[in-house]
Amino acid sequence: MEDVARVAGVSHQTVSRVLNNHPNVSSKTRERVEQAITELGYRRNTAARSLVTRRSQTIGVLGSEMAQYGPSHTLLGVQQAARDAGYFVSVAGLREVTPETIKDAIAHFMDQGVDGIVVTVPHPGTFDVLRDITVPVPLVAVGSVGDEHLGGATVDQQEGARLAVQHLLDLGHKQIGHLSGPVDWIDAAARIDGWREALAEAGLEPATLIEGDWSAGCGYREGLKIAADRCVTALFVANDQMALGVLRAFNETGVQVPQDISVVGFDDQPESAYFIPPLTTVAQDFEELGQRCISLLLDRLENGDTVSAATVPPRLVVRSTTAPPLTA
């Protein structure tokens, strides 16, 4: 840093401010320092810095079910937000979610000296395990409502389900089924609750509820059954992958979407706009979710902030798979 300061013609403290993105540095000075850093090939000694600051500039991320769209994109959002804040990310993925595997992973992060931990394990028992562990760094759990022991950041899944169902109700549908995700997932359970609440508020009884497994294959199999008995005029599907399978099943059996049955998905995967027909769905902002996770964690780390939760609102994206029912 002294070499960089000499070449740039500034003080050691100014170089430190530039490296730490301090706002009180003029653009011209910042440019001179950055040019000197490039010329000299300077790289910050993170080990030495950790000894001084007692920070590793590393955040641990504990996750599971990473093959699924939601968890994988939550991880990407957290990684990007952490990098933007100047932190590295250490990821531990669980093949099996048990109290023992969660505790082992947390202990592993403590051995690494991480500054905080974000947990993206979508099963409700995880929160109870985390509350029973004494951890000397901030914890933020995706899907948790948060409390004084455990920070929480989440997309409002119930509100997303209500948006989907209310859209169908506004079109005139009264028999709205739901193909859910696995009920031992936090998000799937919340979407079921939102579906039921929206129907109850409209004075309607819940129609068909089918538990799925998030896969397009499951959507295809259940879509064939729904096509055979025509028990609903609209179907709220808990993710876009299952909705893709449903659309194929309907196409093969001559069920026209949206003329015969309307379909709404959840996630707004990039491919959803190119399904046939393009899928009406509920969008989750995973980039914003990642930013909320990191902001909450850093607030607790820097200030002992007592704010326990952050919620990201979902958004309905209307395309071509929904229309009024023929009998409306």
Strand ranges in the chain using DSSP code E only, listed in sequence order: 58-64, 88-94, 116-120, 139-142, 151-155, 176-180, 209-211, 234-237, 262-264, 281-283, 309-312, 315-317
2-44 against 54-155+285-312: fold identical: no
**CATH number of the structural domain 2-44:** 1.10.260.40
Cα separations (Å) of 49 from 1, 316, 319? 12, 46, 51
The verdict on pTM exceeding 0.75 is: yes
Domain positions in the chain are: 2-44, 54-155+285-312, 157-284
Can you give the pLDDT of all 328 residues of the chain as single tens digits? 889 889 999 998 898 788 776 777 898 998 998 898 888 888 765 545 544 445 689 999 999 999 999 999 999 999 999 998 889 999 999 999 999 999 999 999 999 999 999 999 999 889 999 989 888 899 999 998 777 778 899 999 999 999 999 999 999 999 999 999 999 999 999 999 999 999 999 999 998 999 999 999 999 999 999 999 999 999 999 999 999 999 999 999 999 999 999 999 999 999 999 999 999 999 999 999 999 999 999 888 888 766 678 999 999 999 999 999 986 5
- End-to-end C-alpha distance for the chain, whole angstroms: 73
- Secondary structure (3-state) at 230: coil
Q: Would you say 85 and 76 are in contact if contact means Cβ atoms under 8 Å apart?
A: no
Write the single-letter amino acid at 8: A
Handedness of CA 195, 198, 200, 204 (dihedral sign): negative
> If you write DSSP's letter for every residue of 280-311 in order, what string do you get?
BEEE--HHHHHHHHHHHHHHHHHH-----EEE
Superfamily of chain region 157-284: Response regulator (3.40.50.2300)
Which one of 3.40.50.2300, 3.50.50.60, 3.40.50.920, 3.40.50.261 gives the CATH number of domain 54-155+285-312?
A: 3.40.50.2300
Burial (CB < 10 A; 0-12, 13-18, 19+), residue 172, is middle
